[in-house]
Structures are given as C-alpha cells and as structure tokens.
A and B are shown apart, each in its own frame.
Chain A
Amino acid sequence: MKTPAIRALALALACLPFAAAADTVTVVTSFPKEITTAYKKAYEAKYPQDKVEILNKNTAAGIAYVREQAAGARPEVFWASAPDAFEVLSGSKLLAKIGPGNPAIPAKVGNYPVNDPEGYYRGQALAGYGLMWNTRYVKANNLPEPKEWADLVKPVYFGHLAISSPSRSGTTHLTVETILQGEGWTKGWEQLLAICGNSAAITERSFGVPDGVNNGQFGIGLVIDFFGLAAKNSGMPVEFVYPSVTAIVPANIALIDGAKAKDAGMRFIEFTLSEEGQMLLLDPKISRLPVLPSVYAKAPAGYPNPFGGQIQAKVNFDSNLSESRYYVVVSLFDQQVTFRHKELVAAMKAIYDAQKRLGGRKSAQLDEARSLVLTPVVDEKQAADPKLLALFKAKKTDAEASKAKAKVEEEWAAKAKANYARAVELANSAK
C-alpha cells in the first residue's frame, strides 16, 4: 500500500509545474481565450526562447493585480479594451514609456488617437460598440430588428434586452460613456435608463451579454463588436450592427514598469503590432478590427473597416471627460440601475401598462411617472462638481471619505428607489 503511494508522490514532484527560468512574458488581459491562445501559439512559434503566460482577469481586477505586485516581480504586459484602465495604470506610474510602434499604423482613427499621446500605451486593435441579437429569438417574439440605441427604448423590447454593468466591465463603461457623450448627460441617461428598464438582466461581466444572446436567453444585447462578429462568423444564429452613436476606440497594450522581463515583454508588444500579429485578428473566432490598415486588404469581403468609412462613428470620444467622471458614472449606474433593477423594471412595466390602458391619451401623471423613472438622480451640473468628483477619487483607506461617499451613494439609491415606487403609483392611477 505504501510503496505505490510514495512512487506516486515522487512522480508528482517530478512533474511539478515549475516556472521556466527562460524569459517568460506574463500578459495580464481581459481578452477571451481564443485571442490569447492564438497570440501565445504564434509568438512562441516565432520566438522559441520565450514563453508566454496568460493571466486572464477582468479589467478592474487586472489593475488591482498589477498594483499588488512589487516592482521587479510584476507581469510584463497589460492588454485590455478600456482606455480608462491604461490611464489609471499610467497615473499610478505602473506603465513604462514605450512611444508609438509600427510606423505603418496611423496616428488617429477618426479624431481619436490610436496610441497614447504620452507614449505609455499603444492601440493594438480597434473596437466599436453595437447591438447584437439572436435571430431566432427575435423571430419567435416578433421583435423588429434594431438599428440604433434609440430603438431599444421602445416598449416592444421590454424584457428582451441585456446589458452589463459599467462597474464590472470596462467595455460597458465605454458604451455608457459613448451614449452619454453622444446624446448629452440628460438625454443619454434617459435613453440608458429606458434601455435598462427594458432589459431582462444587468449581467456581471460584459461577456454575459453576448453569451446570453448566443444561447437565446436574451434577445438583444449591447456588446463590443468582436463578441457579435466572432459569434456570427462561427455559425451562431446572431446578427450585429454598429449604431450611428458609436465611437471607435482602440483596445490597448502596454509594457508594465517594474516587470521582470522587460525586453521579452517589448518583443511581445511589437509582435502584436506587426503585420503577422495583426493578421491573427482576422481569424473568424477572433474577428477584431486591426489597427494596421494594410491588413484589411486581406480580410474577407464585408469585414468592417473603420479606416474605410464603413462605420459611422458620430461620437468623438473624449477620454479625459470619461476619466474625470469615471467613478461617478459607474457608481450612479450601479445605485440607480444594477442594484435597483427589479424596481426599475417594475416601474417601466407600470408605465407601459398605463400607456396601453390609456390608448395613447395624454396624461400628466404618466408624464410625471416617466420623468421620475428616466431622470438621473444626479444632474449634469452635480456630476461635474469638483467636490463630488474628488470625493469619489479619494484614497480608499480614508475612513471619513469612504463614509461620506457611502452616504452620497445611499442618497442616490434611496432617491432612485423612491422615484421608482412613486412612478408605479402614478402610472397605476394615471387617467
């Protein structure tokens, strides 16, 4: 009995997954396995002396992880969609200045710089935000196919949409911020709240939306383009469109300051920006938009090309504005939508029921109910208040600030809850 056990243990010790002593490029990324595996394989084939280690974390957790590591023991590369994440990292002095890379890559897409003007990170692929729907679901439920964000506020979509929470998903934050910048604070929130009120779920990760649409749990989802395109190109019964209020922004890659193997990290980054690395993006399972324009010539017909004017991007995304109010937008969304979704949906339902009952007649109560539900509890002026912004950016360990912030958040939550409850009352009694 004992000998086999010892032999098994010896075998176990012999096969331990020890870290390789050679150069290891550790990549912290929020990207799905299809992308990371393709790049790992291709890079290791080209540079056999290096090993690529993928560390898959959502963007927020990735930032937290890099922060936690001591200088000299940090991972090499940070690779994610949300530009805000890179701003946060470079603001915390966690990125190395690498400047722009491959000269064939244009400096701008639309009005948006592809690479960080400060030189701390580079655009590696482009991403737009759009609508993805399950064709079978839409047909079975007789839903019209949507074209614009504004379509989604219609009552017909009630209970059929899905969106993620910006606090959990960097890409959803970009979508939300795009709508807010494209439509303005008040109108943007009106649209967002109506869309969320029509949503069946506010999912935990941005990935939860395309996943649910793929398997038919949700009809229509707000997603980053490659989720929709990759699913469609792989035979899922889904469609994807870019609405006109969209922004094309780069997904970025950066070298972490204080990384163990800086040179190898840099090699990896250059590889992802080379023609070879950019071609990988065209794989149907990946379906991302390259930053290198020449690659589009080799793309299959109908592949969206942001440099060819096929995608109208009306919004000039202002990343400074986005970053300055990041915490306020995220927290407001959570307090008013994510954590109060049940109440929000109930209020929307009451309004739709009242509309049906009244058969299109005007009603002051109904108007008031609608405005209670669709007005953000923080107006544009308050959202730009430096004192509020400072409170949300305060150090996390500052007990006083954290208490004050919790108090503000609680006020928002209480107000949102009261508004929704009042809206239900008003809608039910609307004449």
Chain B
Amino acid sequence: MRTHPGIVAIALAIAAFLVAFLVIPVVAVVYTAFSDGQGGFTLAHFAAFNEISLMRESFANSLYVAGMTVGLGTLIAVPLAYLTVRFQFRGAILVQTLGVLPLVMPAFVGAAAMQLLFGRSGSVNLILKDAFGVTLPLMEGLNGVIFVETLHYFPFILLNLSAALANIDSSMEEAAQNLGASGWRLFRKVVFPLAMPGYVAGASLVFIKVFDDLGTPLVLNVTNMLAPQAYLRVTSIGLEDPIGYVICVILVAFSIGAMGGSWWFVKRRDYALVSRGGVQAPKRRLTPWQALLAYGWIVGMLLLVLSPHLGILLLSISKVWSFTVLPEQLTLAHYATVFTESKQMIWNTFLYCGLAALLDVALGTAIAYIVLRTKLPGRQLLDHLVTIALAMPGLVLGIGYLRTFKGVELPFGGGALTASWVIFVLAYAVRRLPYALRSCMAALTQVHPALEEAAENLGAGRWNTIRRVVIPLMMGGILAGFVTSFITAAAEISETILLTSRESMAPMSYGIYLYFQSVLGRGPGAALGVIAVALVAFGTYVSHRLVAARSPHQSGGGQ
C-alpha cells in the first residue's frame, strides 16, 4: 500500500495540534519539576519528595484505591454486559443507558449525594443505627473514595466490554458449544478472552481515571492520595511549588506505565475476527432461576448505581435535609433559581463539550485509520502522543496551559487565549481524545482489512473505501466515542476550576461546584446536577437510536 499524500498532510496536522496543545504544556510541567530555578537540571525536588513519608503513603493509597475500584467495577460491569448482550432480556437498553448515567454526574456531586445517603449521618446509617445500633463506615476515608469511584467509573468497563461482546462473531461461540463448552466455561475460555481488548481498554481507563481523580477525594476530605497532594501543593503554595510538579511527573509516569502495560497485553495477541460483518450471536433464553438471579443482580446494582442520582434528585427538591432519613420540606424553588441564574452555564456546556467531542471523533477516526491501516513511518507516535493525554491529570494539563499560553492573544481581537472559552474546548478535546480514539481503534480493530481490500478490488479508491466501508463499519465505535467524550467533558471539574476565569463563560460543572460552595447552594447545585443528568441521559438515548439506525448488523440492544 502506498501512502496517500493527503494522509501525510492530515497526519502532520494532527501531530502539530497534539504538540501545541499536549506536548508543550506537559513539557512545561515536567521542566519545572527538574529545574533548579536558574535553568539548570536538578533532582533535588525528587529527593525532597522521597524524604516525605506522607508522599510515599499517598502513592500507596492512590494505587490501592485505583486497584480496588477496577476490581469492584469489574464485578458490577461484567455480569451486566454479558447478560444484556447475550441473553434475551427485556429492558436491556435500559440497563445500557442507565449504565452510562453515572458518567454524566461529576464525581464530586455524586460524592456529596452519597454522603447524605451512606455517610456518618446518612439515611442508611440512621436506619441501621435505629434498628441495630450499628453504622457502616461506607464513606469513611479511602472506603468512601472507592465506593463513589466504583459507581462513577464502572461504565467505562461496561461500555467497552459491551461493544466488544456485541462484535464477537457467533461462529466462535457456536464452535465452542459444538466442542462441548457451555456456561461458565464458555464465558471464561472463549467469550471473555475474545472480549479482552474491550475489557482491558475499559479497566485501564478506570484505573487511570481513579488514579488521577481529584474531585472525589477532595469532597470526601481524603488528602493522603497523590492527586489531592499535587493539587494542594500547587494551589496552596503556588504555581511555583516544585513538589507539586514532582507529584505530577510521578502521577504521569505511573499512569503511562499502566497504560503501556495494558497496551502491550492487547498487542501481543491477534484479536481480529474475519467476519465482523457476519451474524451476531443469537440471544439465549434464561431459565427461570437464571432470570431471577439476573434480575436480582441487575436491580440490586441499579439501585446502588442510581443512589447518587436519587440523592441528588431528593436534594434538589428539598428545603431542609438534615439528620433525617429523607428530606422534610419539599420545594421547586431551586429549579426556578437555576433557570433564572444559570441558563448560560447550561448552554456553555453544550457548546464546549459538543465542539470538543466533535473534534475528538474527527481526530480519533483519522488517527485510528492512520495507525492501523497505513504504513506511514512514525504513525505509532500519534497514538503514543494521545496516550500521554490519557495519563495527564486535568489539573496538570490546566496548569500547563496557563503557563504555556500566558499572553497568547486570539486573532480578531478575541482577547487572551487563556481567558477565552476556546481554552475549554481545547483542554476538553485533548483530554477526551484518548476515549474517542480507543473507541475508534477498537471499532477499526474489529473491521478486518480484508473488507477494505475487497472494496478496493472492486474498484473503490482509498477515500471512497474509507467513506463507504470503513467509517460506516466503525460508526458504532465513533458514536460511542462521541458520547463518552461529551459526557466525560461535561462532568469534568479539575481542569474547569483552573481554567474558568469568568463566571459567564463557566460550564455547568463549575456552576454546580460553585453552588455547592455556599451554605444554601446545595439545593440549586443539585437542581443543576439533575438537569445535567437528564440532558445527557437524553443525549445518550439519541445516540443509541443512531447506532441502531445506522448499522443494520448491530442491534441497538433490546429487540
């Protein structure tokens, strides 16, 4: 295959974008960690870091929390994904949609609601104390972080795994069944290994997200983890504090390591299936007992997963909720407040996240194609660059932006770049690009090159093949990437706090955060949270419909 000059140009443009908005800001951060203040190189800051026992402890805690979250998230996600994709099951689309819901809610909002339900004087513990005289430390210290993060991030595993499961050719399972495998053995030996790329992609994402997450530990008052320490250092001591940058560098290095590990794991095997365009596995029927178990599991998990949403909903309509199982006086006044005060923020979220997600899927599709389908020298570099974005905590990228683009003016009198809304689109797009790219990559991995070769043999040119064959076959992955990018950007808070320089250009997540910072703001904050959840739930539903309509081979979930 010869490389088309158009593709070379696109690859170079993407590379330039990534260098400007990812590499340079990151380098600025790394440079600070190694700089002795006079432009020389030093390891003194790292030595100083290593001498602080708190930092070592924080590192261990961050690892523990991220690991536990992946484990618990897997327990929730695997049965949900398998049941809904492989069995005749009413309401499967509901499960999939509900599984996406936690992603829209900023983790710190979820944490605030969870405290009211599961905290020291939360509903559950008040009931338990009344009935049995005991309370469960569900929200104490690291437990709380793990609990909240699991419910918030398991959808990454669920979404990726479901997509991978849906794409497994039924002939594989049929062959295994013909050879006598069934039940658990079939799942463990055939289905799960085939879905491994999806699982590993999801699990490593969860690990990195939790490892870097700032909002949840802060709301739960857990400071002995790496990300909160970096944030505390940089914001309370100042942008110049080197220890903060050292933590950032360690965070980043560790995350890249974890990503690299999972990448290597997937790469060393060949997961491509020849007949992606073939028949999907027929949905099996559940026996009554299995159905009972399945419904029991799903209902239980859904209650748990929806508890933060329920908490936020209650909070948004309650006048006073203090030391009681349920709020006492109900009111709709908080919604009125939000609609008079914060319309602009809702609009901003749509604008920033929509543009960012659009940019992401365009870049993601192009990069996936260049990496997997061309022989362009150095093409892997694009993928590696994007992976760096995945390992970058939002906080670090935010600081990097503020440092790098200080004084850069927008053309046409648009003012300073760092003080304009464009910076949100860029920051969101760069940090969400890995999700979109993973989705596009996974989708393209499962399209066998033979299909494109067939199209080219039939006379279609490169562009036509991409447009008529590759992109339609990838559409499910592209849309999943768009949705994931959009809703994670809408729920992002640490970059947002850093980059917001005016309230009028703040997105919704900042608005929620801001409301929560006042004595009487919980109600309006929760109301804004509810609106956010509702909007994204709607968006997700629409995208599901799009997936169902666009690709006839893929069922939209339920039938």
Contact = CB atoms under 8 A, between A and B. Distances in A.
Q: Do the two shown chains form a genuine complex with each other? A: yes
Contact of B232 (A53, A168, A238, A409): A168
Nearest to B239: A64
A409 B237 CA distance: 14
A101 interface: no
B323 A216 contact: yes
Nearest to B112: A211
B501 A413 contact: no
Contacts of A102: none
A338 interface: yes
Interface string A363-379: 00000000000000000
B346 to A, nearest CB: 12
A333 B359 CA distance: 46
Contacts of A410: 51-53
A406 B56 CA distance: 13
Contacts of A58: 235
A93 interface: no
Given A16-B421, A60-B236, A396-B237, A237 B320 contact: yes
B221 A203 contact: yes
B319 interface: yes
Contact of A402 (B48, B354, B419): B48
Contacts of A18: 414
A55 B502 contact: yes
Given A167-B236, A399-B45, A34 B505 contact: no
Interface in B41-86: 42, 44-45, 47-49, 51-54
Given A136-B323, A215-B322, A216-B322, A204 B235 contact: no
Given A17-B348, A339-B54, A402-B242, A237 B323 contact: yes
Interface stretch (A65-73, A265-273, A304-312, A314-322): A65-73
Given A134-B322, A217-B120, A399-B242, A285 B347 contact: no
Nearest to A235: B320
B478 to A, nearest CB: 14
Contacts of B415: 19
Interface stretch (B195-203, B441-449, B515-523): B515-523
B238 A235 contact: no
A54 B44 contact: no
Interface in A390-429: 395-400, 402-403, 405-407, 409-410, 413-414, 417
A137 B517 contact: no
A83 interface: no
A216 B341 CA distance: 28
A342 B141 contact: yes
B171 interface: no
Interface string B115-151: 1100111100000000000000000010000000000
A115 interface: no
Contacts of A215: 115-116, 121, 321-323, 522
Contacts of B35: 397
Given A58-B235, A167-B236, A396-B237, A32 B517 contact: yes
Interface size class of B (residues with CB under 8 A): 35 or more
A401 B363 CA distance: 45
Contact of B48 (A70, A136, A403): A403
B547 to A, nearest CB: 15
Interface stretch (A182-190, A226-234, A244-252, A353-361): A226-234
A413 B56 CA distance: 13
Contacts of B515: 33
Given A217-B121, A396-B240, A403-B45, A285 B520 contact: yes
A63 B44 CA distance: 27
A237 B414 CA distance: 49
Contacts of B341: 37
B504 A17 contact: yes
Given A70-B407, A398-B37, A399-B242, A234 B48 contact: no
A331 to B, nearest CB: 9
Most chain B beta-carbon neighbours within 10 Å: one of A60, A205, A397, A400 = A397
A58 B108 CA distance: 17
Contacts of A204: 218-219, 221, 223
B519 A12 contact: no
Nearest to A139: B323
B323 A230 contact: no
B502 A338 contact: no
Nearest to B416: A73
Nearest to B54: A339
Contacts of B323: 134, 136-137, 140, 215-216, 237
A34 B119 contact: no
Contact of A55 (B320, B321, B344, B503): B503
A418 to B, nearest CB: 11
A19 B413 CA distance: 11
B51 A407 contact: yes
A44 B406 CA distance: 30
A207 interface: yes
A63 B121 CA distance: 36
Nearest to A41: B341
Contacts of B218: 204
A426 B238 CA distance: 40
B520 A68 contact: no
Contacts of B121: 137, 215-217
A229 to B, nearest CB: 9
Interface string A190-225: 000000000011111101101100111110000000
Residue of B243, B416, B519 ringed by the most chain A CB atoms within 10 A: B519
A335 B232 CA distance: 13
B497 to A, nearest CB: 8
Contacts of B237: 396
Contacts of A15: 347, 351
Contacts of A339: 54, 223-224
B520 A34 contact: yes
Interface in B483-536: 500-505, 514-522
B456 interface: no
A56 interface: yes
B52 A208 contact: no
A236 B52 CA distance: 42
Interface string A10-24: 001001111100000
A127 to B, nearest CB: 14
B51 A237 contact: no
A230 to B, nearest CB: 5
A124 interface: no
A26 interface: yes
Contacts of B53: 410, 413-414, 417
Select the residue from A26, A56, A140 with max chain B CB neighbours within 10 A.
Answer: A56
Contact of B519 (A19, A26, A214): A214
B221 A202 contact: yes
A61 interface: yes
Interface string B338-378: 00010010011001001100000000000000000000000
A203 B420 CA distance: 32
List the 6 shortest-distance A-B pairs measured between CB atoms, nearest first.
A32-B518, A216-B323, A397-B37, A396-B240, A406-B48, A136-B323
5 contacts: A17-B344, A54-B503, A55-B501, A64-B239, A217-B120
